[in-house]
Chains A and B, each alone.
Chain A
Amino acid sequence: MTEAVTIEARHAVKAFGQGEHVVRALDDVSIQIRKGEFFTLLGPSGCGKTTLLRLIAGFEMPTSGTILLDGADITDLPPNRRPVNTVFQSYALFPHLTVAENIGFGLTMQGRPKAEVKARVAEMLALVKLEAMAGRKVSQLSGGQQQRVALARALAPQPKVLLLDEPLSALDLKLRKEMQVELKRLQTETGITFIFVTHDQEEALTMSDRIGVMSAGKLQQVGSPRDIYTRPVNRFVASFIGETNFLPATVVSGGVRLSTGDVVAVETAAQGAVTLAVRPEQVRIVAAEESGAIVATVRMLVYFGTDTHCHLALADGTEVVARVQSPASGEAGIEEGSTVGIRFASGAAQVLED
Chain B
Amino acid sequence: MAERRFEIARIPGFATIAVATFVMLYLPIAALVTFSFNEGNSVAVWSGFSLHWYEKAWANQAVKDATVRSLTIAVCAALISTTVATLAAMGTTRRAKFRGETFIYVAINQPLMVPEIVTAVALMILFGMVKQATGYQGLGYLILAHSAFCIPFAYLPIRARLEGMDLSLETAAGDLYATPWQTFRHVTLPLLGPGILAGAMLAFVISLDDVIITEFVKSGGQDTLPTYMLGQLRRTMTPEVNAISTALLGLTVVLLTAFFLLTRKRD
List residues of A whose CB falls within 8 A of some B CB.
57-59, 78-81, 84-86, 88, 90, 92-96, 105-106, 109-110, 153-154, 157
A94 — which chain B residues lie within 8 A by C-beta?
169, 172-173, 187
Smallest Cβ-Cβ distance to B170: which chain A residue: A92
Shortest beta-carbon contacts, A-B, top 4? A106-B176, A92-B172, A92-B168, A109-B177
In the bound complex, what is the Cα–Cα distance between A157 and B176 (angstroms)? 8
Chain A proximity of B162: nearest CB distance (Å): 15
Q: Are B168 and A153 in contact (CB under 8 A)?
A: no
Smallest Cβ-Cβ distance to A96: which chain B residue: B190
Chain B proximity of A67: nearest CB distance (Å): 15
Interface residue? B179 (CB, 8 A): yes
A95 — which chain B residues lie within 8 A by C-beta?
169, 191
Chain B proximity of A49: nearest CB distance (Å): 17
Query: 19 other contacts beyond A85-B176, A93-B172, A96-B190, with CB at 8 A cut-off?
Result: A80-B174, A80-B175, A80-B178, A88-B168, A88-B171, A92-B166, A92-B169, A95-B169, A95-B191, A96-B191, A105-B173, A105-B178, A105-B186, A106-B176, A109-B173, A109-B176, A109-B186, A110-B177, A154-B176
In the bound complex, what is the Cα–Cα distance between A57 and B172 (angstroms)? 10
Q: Are B179 and A80 in contact (CB under 8 A)?
A: yes
Most B-side CB within 10 Å, residue of A81, A94, A154:
A94
Q: Which of B166-210 contact A (CB under 8 A)?
A: 166, 168-169, 171-179, 182, 186-187, 190-191
B190 — which chain A residues lie within 8 A by C-beta?
96
B176 — which chain A residues lie within 8 A by C-beta?
80, 85, 105-106, 109, 153-154, 157
B186 — which chain A residues lie within 8 A by C-beta?
105, 109
B179 — which chain A residues lie within 8 A by C-beta?
80, 109
Q: Can you report 12 residue pairs joining A to B where beta carbons are below 8 Å apart?
A: A80-B176, A80-B178, A84-B175, A85-B176, A86-B172, A90-B166, A92-B172, A94-B169, A109-B176, A110-B177, A157-B176, A157-B177
Smallest Cβ-Cβ distance to A112: which chain B residue: B177
Q: Are A85 and B174 in contact (CB under 8 A)?
A: no
* Chain B window 25-50, contacts with chain A (Cβ cutoff 8 Å), 1 for yes, 0 for no: 00000000000000000000000000
In the bound complex, what is the Cα–Cα distance between A109 and B187 (angstroms)? 12
Contact residue among B172, B174, B182 (Cβ-Cβ distance under 8 Å from A78): B174
B169 — which chain A residues lie within 8 A by C-beta?
92, 94-95
In the bound complex, what is the Cα–Cα distance between A81 and B175 (angstroms)? 8
Smallest Cβ-Cβ distance to A106: which chain B residue: B176
Interface size on B, residues (CB 8 A): 17
Chain B proximity of A322: nearest CB distance (Å): 46
A110 — which chain B residues lie within 8 A by C-beta?
177
In the bound complex, what is the Cα–Cα distance between A101 and B177 (angstroms)? 15
In the bound complex, what is the Cα–Cα distance between A157 and B182 (angstroms)? 17
With A95-B191, A96-B190, A96-B191 as known contacts, state yes or no: A90 contacts B168, CB within 8 Å.
yes
Chain B proximity of A59: nearest CB distance (Å): 6
In the bound complex, what is the Cα–Cα distance between A347 and B187 (angstroms)? 57
B187 — which chain A residues lie within 8 A by C-beta?
94
Chain B proximity of A79: nearest CB distance (Å): 4
Most A-side CB within 10 Å, residue of B171, B172, B175:
B175
In the bound complex, what is the Cα–Cα distance between A338 and B172 (angstroms)? 60
In the bound complex, what is the Cα–Cα distance between A90 and B172 (angstroms)? 11
Smallest Cβ-Cβ distance to B172: which chain A residue: A92
Chain A proximity of B216: nearest CB distance (Å): 43
Contact residue among B166, B168, B178, B191 (Cβ-Cβ distance under 8 Å from A109): B178
B191 — which chain A residues lie within 8 A by C-beta?
95-96
B171 — which chain A residues lie within 8 A by C-beta?
59, 79, 88, 92
In the bound complex, what is the Cα–Cα distance between A163 and B30 (angstroms)? 63
Chain B proximity of A238: nearest CB distance (Å): 35
In the bound complex, what is the Cα–Cα distance between A95 and B170 (angstroms)? 12
Smallest Cβ-Cβ distance to A85: which chain B residue: B175
Most A-side CB within 10 Å, residue of B176, B179, B186:
B176
In the bound complex, what is the Cα–Cα distance between A173 and B173 (angstroms)? 30
With A96-B190, A96-B191 as known contacts, state yes or no: A79 contacts B166, CB within 8 Å.
no
In the bound complex, what is the Cα–Cα distance between A45 and B20 (angstroms)? 57
Chain A proximity of B166: nearest CB distance (Å): 7
A85 — which chain B residues lie within 8 A by C-beta?
175-176
A105 — which chain B residues lie within 8 A by C-beta?
173, 176, 178, 186
B175 — which chain A residues lie within 8 A by C-beta?
57-59, 79-80, 84-86, 154
B174 — which chain A residues lie within 8 A by C-beta?
58-59, 78-80
Smallest Cβ-Cβ distance to A84: which chain B residue: B175
Contact residue among A58, A84, A88, A157 (Cβ-Cβ distance under 8 Å from B172): A88
Smallest Cβ-Cβ distance to A86: which chain B residue: B175
Chain B proximity of A144: nearest CB distance (Å): 19
B172 — which chain A residues lie within 8 A by C-beta?
86, 88, 92-94
In the bound complex, what is the Cα–Cα distance between A59 and B168 (angstroms)? 10
In the bound complex, what is the Cα–Cα distance between A196 and B184 (angstroms)? 29
Smallest Cβ-Cβ distance to B183: which chain A residue: A80
Chain A proximity of B187: nearest CB distance (Å): 6
